[in-house]
Amino acid sequence: MTNFYLTTSIPYINGEPHIGFGLEVTLADVIARYARQQGNNVIFTTGTDEHGGKIEEKAKELKITPQALADQNSAKFRELATVLDITNDRFIRTTDKGHEQRAQIIWKNLSKDIYKAKYTGWYCVGDEAFFTETVVKENNGICPAHNRPYDKIEEENYFFRLSAYNDQILKALTDGSFRVVPETKKNEVLGLLKEGLEDISISRPKEKISWGIPVPGDKTQVMYVWFEALLNYITVLGYPEHEDFKKFWPANVQVVGKDITRFHAAIWPGILLGLGIALPKALYVHGFVNVSGQKISKSLGNVINPAEIVKTYGVDAFRYFFLRHIPSYGDGDFSYEEFERAYNNELGNELGNAVQRTVVMIEKFQDGVVGNIPPAEHDNAVYHQAIADFKFDRALDSVWEQVRGLNQFIDEQKPWTIAKEGDTEHLREVLASMVSDLLEIAESLVPFLPNTAASIKSIFAEGLLHAQKTVLFPKIENYKTDKVEKG
C-alpha cells in the first residue's frame, strides 16, 4: 500500500466554527476517501490553532483561562467535523503537549536561520498581524476589520531568514515539484517570489503575549502564533523521530483557504527548506463562501450554521451542495433557495428518482429479484482526472451526466411496456443494466456522498432488492426560506 498524507489548515478558535471550515474539511474528506478507495494507506489530519493574544484577550473578557476557552472552542470544531462525516484520522491541537515540545525542537533545528532584531511596526491583535505604514495610513490608524486602533510596536523579536529560500521555492513551483492549484493562486505566489520574500518575525515578547509556546532558551519570548501553527503539519506526524513522519512526509496534499495562501506557499516551504526536509507535493487552495451574494458577517446576520443544514437536509445534501455548487477553483455563493433547488431537482428528482423507479419496477415485475448484474461499462476517465485536478465540481458534473443518462435510458426503454409485452428476458436485461449503472454511480459517489453510496449499494446487494423504507432525498420545500424570514 502507498502512504498518503493529507492535511487541512487548522482554524483559529476565537469564535464559532464557520462555514469556511465546513467547506475545507469536506473538500479534504473527498480527497481522503478517494485515496482510501484507490487502496492508499491514508493519514488525514485537521485540528485547531489555539495560541495568541486574541485568545488571551477573549478569555480575560469571559473570565476564564485561555486553556479553558481553547478546550471549549476546539471541541466545537471537532464536533462539526463529526457532523459532516469527516474521516480525519487525527485532530491536532496546538496546545497539545506533543505539539509544543516538537515546535521547540523545530525552533532549535532552524537556529542557523533564526536571528534577533529590532522591529518597529503597526499591529492589530484582532488579526494577530503586523501592517505596513501604507495600510495604516489608508485606514486612518484604525483597523477596519476590528474597529480598533493599530498598536505601534517597537520590540525585539526573533526573525526567520525566509529570504534565503526565495529562489529554491521559486524553483520548486516552476518545475512543478511543489504544485499550487489552481493556476491563478500559483501565479499570485510566483508574483510574490519574483518581488522577493523578506525575513519574517516569528516571536513576540512574553510580557505582551503570554499565551504561546516559549522560545527555547529565552524566557522573554514566545513563538508567534502564525509561525507555530504551521508546524502542526509535521508535529502531528511526530517530527523528527517518529516512524509516521518518516513514512508519510512529504504530504500529498495540503488544503487551505485563499486568505492563507502566502503562509502555505511561501513561508511554510521556507521553514521546511530550513529544516532540510521535502516540500509538500501539492497545495490546493479553495475560495470563500458568500451568502446570497454578500460576505458572511455577524453584523449582517447571515452566518450559516452547517449543523442546522445537516439536521434539516442530511449530511450528504450538505456535502453535495458545497462540493458541486461552490466552484472548486473560486468563490461561491450559498442561499437556501439555491440549496433547496439543488436538493429537490438534482438529488431528489434526478438521483433519488432513478433509484426509486428502478426499485419499484424490480419489485413489481420481478418480485424483487435483480438477477445477474452486468459489469460497469464506463471508463470514468473524466471523473478521475477531475479529482486529480481537485475539480470536485467537475467530477460531480460527470456523475450527474451518468444519472441523467440513466433516467433517459429508462424513459426510452420503457420497461413497463416491455413488461406488458411479456418479454421477460429482455425486461430482466434492461432492469439489470439499470442496476449496474446505479452501482457504478454509487461507486463514484463514495468519496462525495458516502451515505447515499452505501444506501444504493445495500439496496441492490447480492442481486436481490433490499428496499429501504424511506426514499432518498424526500422533497423538502421552503423550510429555510420561511425560517429566515421569521428569524
Interacting residues with Zn ion (CB under 5 A): 124, 126-127, 143, 145-146
Number of separate helices (H) and strands (E) present in the chain: 22, 17
Query: Which residue lies nearer to Zn ion by CB, 132 or 468?
Result: 132
How many residues would you count in the chain? 487
Q: Could you tell me the smallest distance in angstroms from the CB atom of residue 145 to Zn ion? A: 4
Q: Could you tell me the smallest distance in angstroms from the CB atom of residue 146 to Zn ion? A: 4
Q: Could you tell me the smallest distance in angstroms from the CB atom of residue 155 to Zn ion? A: 18
Separation between Cα atoms, residue 206 and residue 295, nearest integer Å:
35
Query: Which residue lies nearer to Zn ion by CB, 151 or 308?
Result: 151
Q: What would the DSSP string read from start to end of 181-215?
A: ESHHHHHHHHHHHHH-PPPEE-EEETTT--SSPEE
Query: Which residue lies nearer to Zn ion by CB, 224 or 334?
Result: 224
Q: What are phi and psi of 65, to 5 degrees?
A: -80, 155
Query: Which residue lies nearer to Zn ion by CB, 229 or 418?
Result: 229
Query: Which residue lies nearer to Zn ion by CB, 56 or 113?
Result: 56
Q: What are all long-range contacts of 202-209, with beta carbons under 8 Å and residues at least 24 apart? A: 202/114, 202/157, 202/158, 202/159, 202/160, 202/227, 203/157, 203/158, 203/227, 204/53, 204/155, 204/157, 205/155, 205/156, 205/157, 208/53, 208/155, 209/52, 209/53, 209/56
Query: Which residue lies nearer to Zn ion by CB, 153 or 484?
Result: 153
Q: Could you tell me the smallest distance in angstroms from the CB atom of residue 259 to Zn ion? A: 13
Q: Could you tell me the smallest distance in angstroms from the CB atom of residue 134 to Zn ion? A: 16
Question: Of 109, 480, 97, 95, which Cα lies nearest the Cα of 305?
Answer: 480
β-strand 253-257 against 282-286: which pairing, if any? parallel
Q: Could you tell me the smallest distance in angstroms from the CB atom of residue 61 to Zn ion? A: 16
Question: Of 125, 16, 120, 33, which Cα lies nearest the Cα of 72?
Answer: 16
Query: Which residue lies nearer to Zn ion by CB, 124 or 362?
Result: 124
Q: Could you tell me the smallest distance in angstroms from the CB atom of residue 269 to Zn ion? A: 27
Provide the greatest CA pair distance for the chain: 89
